[in-house]
Amino acid sequence: MKCLKYIWIFLAVALLVGGLTVSAGAQGESLSLAASPNLSRLVDRNENTRAVTGEVTVNSATPMEGLYLLFFDTPTDFTLIVDGAECKIRAQFLREYVDLVYLFGEGKGSVTLRFDAQVSILEIYAFAGETPSWVQKWQEPCGKADLCLMTTHADDEQLFFAGVLPYYAGERDLAVQVIYFTDHKNEPMRRHELLRGLWTVGVKNYPVISPFPDLYSESEAAAAGQFASRGFSREAVVSFQVEMLRRFQPLVVVGHDPLGEYGHGQHRLNSATLQEAVNIAGDAASFPESAEIYGVWEVPKTYLHLYPEQPIVLNWDIPLAAFGGKTAFQVTKEGFACHDSQQYTWFRRWLNGNAGEITAASQIKTHSPCQYGLYLSRVGEDVSKNDFFENLKSRKEQAEELARQRFAALEEEKRQKEEAERLAREESERLEKARLAALAEEEARVMRELEAKQRKMMILLSVLVLLTLSIIVSFLLQIRRRRRR
């Protein structure tokens, strides 16, 4: 009995600790809630419990400004009902944040959520004021990506691709799209682990998860056979890869070691079908259905982990400003720590060491996360060999350059317009001056002609006066002569 008592105590403590593991950060920052009907599991701040419901009303003594819903396995559309007003919400993410102030203009003390179907929910959090950083406010998958990371399982992105996401998504703020080759549909909590991990390392665009099952094998052929036995042909796998490349049009694609790192068949199959896809995604005749939807795309650069040709070495041990001076490797370790279900595996020892002695990515020699090879480049060979984006500009940089070019073009157009206006003004002034000069010249000519006429008239008048005087004098002289006689 005493032994049984200790067992019960141990189990109680284990459950308590387990229940706090996921949501310890939430307890001090989210509002205290009550849910009706009696669905206390939805507001117990414990993501290890869940409840199934079609409608729930959440109440808080403090007006709620934001809601954070954690769906167990399937996001389900719902309607928010507040004070008789309704607002339809399209649920896209397993972890969905709803801004109540944006929707209703102010915080609310009571909100009803009516789901389109019965749904399993892990937790509902509510907040007032600033939202904690652990709340995942996902953006939709990228429109066009700078980098696509084609990882196989939930945790590979934090292991064999350690450093990639903190550096390119977090530090450089590039459009990074993570695409998972397999879906842990039989382990829904692994989806939540991968989301927490991605958010921790700076990814903000929601990942894409394929429909392919997670199965273990030790060869590409075996992995393809397992897929085929479950209705997914190799052609279907290549089609998926091609569709992803066309949909996101990445500048850089990063994929697995062709040998599958430690030999995992699905890693090998992912890498092999990706290699095939990057060579045909630009051909409209290959898988024309996705070409019609997205167009074709020739990926500028494709890197494969541990690929021996055109090798490059990436430094994940440089402090990153975006993460307060932590290195990309240190941040990745925090991302892997979000994968609770994988902490018992050899991966944890590979990443951290048996006693935490691994503190830098450069210390890992087997399956080094720093070593890649340039499988394909349409923009020339690497020279510096330390950056996936050598010889490339990110879409933001391209947009900024295009904006600068447009600004320069507008400035040049403005300059040319001002120059044309200046020349037009000068020409107008010249013509006006010429017109005024011509008028002045004409006036001068007229005055000269008038003066000439006046001179002629004066001469004529003078002649007439002289002639008249001459006649008068002559007449007077004749009169005088006659008198003398």
Give the number of domains in the chain: 3
What is the pLDDT averaged over residues 181-186? 93
Q: Are residues 72 and 105 in the same domain?
A: yes
Residue type present at position 424:
A
- Using the predicted structure, report yes or no on whether residue 96 has a pLDDT greater than 70: yes
- Residue 68 and residue 169 in one domain: no
Amino acid, single-letter form, for residue 84: G
User: Are residues 263 and 373 located together in one domain of the fold?
Assistant: yes
DSSP state of 426: H
Domain containing 98 equals 22-127
| C-alpha span between 283 and 285 (Å, rounded) | 5
In this structure, of 180-194, 198-212, 377-391, 452-466, the range with the lowest mean pLDDT score is: 452-466
Question: Across the chain, how many H-helices and E-strands are there?
Answer: 12, 14
Please tell me whether residues 370 and 407 are part of one structural domain. Answer: no
Position 40 scores a pLDDT of 87
pLDDT tens for residues 277-315?
A: 999 999 999 999 999 999 999 999 999 999 999 999 999
Distance of CA 485 to the CA centre of its chain: 135
Q: Which are the contacts of 4, defined by CB distance < 8 A and separation ≥ 6?
A: none
Classify strands 108-127 and 66-71 as parallel, antiparallel or unpaired: antiparallel
Instruction: For residue 178, report the phi and psi dihedrals to the nearest 5 degrees.
Output: -95, 130
Shared domain for 208 and 174, answered yes or no, is: yes
Is 408 found in the same domain as 358?
no
Q: Provide the whole-model pTM.
A: 0.81
Q: Please state the separation of Cα 70 from the chain's center in Å.
A: 24
Would you state the pLDDT for residue 310?
A: 97
Question: What is the phi/psi pair of residue 475, to 5°?
Answer: -65, -40
> Lowest mean pLDDT: which of 3-12, 22-31, 107-116?
3-12
Sign of CA dihedral 241, 243, 246, 250: negative
Look at 19-23, 120-124, 377-381, 460-464 and tell me which has the smallest mean pLDDT. 19-23
Query: Would 316 be classed as within a structural domain?
Result: yes
Q: Give the per-residue pLDDT at 37.
A: 85
With beta carbons less than 8 A apart as the criterion, state whether 163 and 369 touch.
yes
Q: What is the CATH number of the domain that holds 112?
A: 2.60.120.260
Two structure tokens written together for 294: 């997205």
- DSSP, collapsed to helix, strand or coil, labels residue 64 as strand
Residues near 173 by beta carbon (within 8 Å), at least 6 away in sequence: 322, 396
Verify that 189 and 48 share a domain, yes or no: no
Give the torsion sign (CA, 408, 411, 415, 416): positive
Q: Is 249 within the bounds of a domain?
A: yes
Q: Tens digits of per-residue pLDDT, 395-419?
A: 999 999 999 999 999 999 999 999 9
pLDDT averaged over the chain? 91
pLDDT confidence band for 189 (50 / 70 / 90): very high
Stretch 271-277: mean pLDDT: 98
Does residue 477 lie in a domain region? no
Q: Which residues contact 420 (CB under 8 A, 6 or more apart)?
A: none
**pLDDT score at 475:** 87
384 and 410, same domain (yes or no): no
Structure tokens belonging to residue 298: 């020739």
The tokens for 34 are: 């009550």
Residue 294 to residue 244: CA distance in whole angstroms: 10
Q: Can you list the alpha helix ranges (DSSP code H) found in 201-264?
A: 220-229, 234-248
- Which is nearest to 311 in space by CA: 394, 370, 258? 370
Is residue 4 predicted with pLDDT exceeding 80? Answer: no
Q: Is residue 136 part of a domain?
A: no
214 pLDDT band, cuts 50/70/90, is very high
Q: Are residues 102 and 210 in the same domain?
A: no
Does residue 196 lie within any of the structural domains?
yes
Shared domain for 166 and 303, answered yes or no, is: yes
How far apart are the C-alpha atoms of 207 and 93, rounded to whole Å? Answer: 10
Say yes or no: 268 and 369 in one domain: yes
Task: Looking at the structure, tell me whether residues 267 and 155 fall in a common domain.
Answer: yes
Assess if residue 133 is contained within a domain: no
SS3 label, residue 213 = strand
